[in-house]
Amino acid sequence: MKISSFSIIVPDYDAGLAFFCGVLGFDLIADIPQGRKRWVEVRAPGAALSVVLAQADGATQRAMIGNQGGGRVWLFLETDDFARDHAHLKTHGIVFEEEPRTEIYGTVAVFRDPFGNRWDLIQKTV
C-alpha cells in the first residue's frame, strides 16, 4: 500500500488552484464537476503524491482552513535550489516566518500559504 494523495481544505477551488498551480507551479491533474462539488487534484511536476483541493463545506470545515496541522508545520516543499525558490515565493507575496537557516539535514525556512497552513521550504543535504 501507499499514500497516493491527501486533501487540503481551501476556501474555494479557484483560490486553491491559484496558489498550487499559479504560485507553486503544480500541474492540474483533474478538475471534474460533481454537482455542488468538484474533484480538483494537483501534483508537483515529477511527484507521485497528489493533493486534492477540498472546498470548505459548512462552518466546521471553514474553521479548519489553514489549521489542518494544528498550528504545526505539516507540509514540506522540497527544492533543489533553495535560494531560487525562496526568492520566487517571496516575489509572489508569500511571507516567511523566519530567515533561512541551516540544519544538519539541510536549508529550511517556514512560511504560510495564503490559507494559513505552515510549510517548510527545504533543500535537503542528506
Q: Average pLDDT of each block of 10 consecutive residues along the chain (126 residues)?
A: 97 98 98 95 97 97 96 97 98 97 97 97 94
Q: What is the pLDDT of residue 65?
A: 97
Cα torsion angle, 91, 62, 4, 39, sign: negative
Q: What is the dihedral of CA 110, 49, 3, 11, to 10 degrees?
A: 60
Q: The C-alpha cell of 50 is what?
A: 497528489
* Interatomic CA distance for residues 71 and 96, integer angstroms: 15
Residues 6+ apart with CB under 8 A from 41: 5, 28, 29, 30, 31, 50, 51, 52, 53
* Interatomic CA distance for residues 102 and 82, integer angstroms: 11
Q: What is the pTM of this model?
A: 0.94
Q: What is the pLDDT of residue 126?
A: 80
Tell me the domains of the chain and their CATH numbers. 1-61 (3.10.180.10), 72-126 (3.10.180.10)
Q: The C-alpha cell of 56 is what?
A: 470548505
**101-103 and 37-43 beta bridge pairing:** unpaired
Q: The C-alpha cell of 111 is what?
A: 512560511
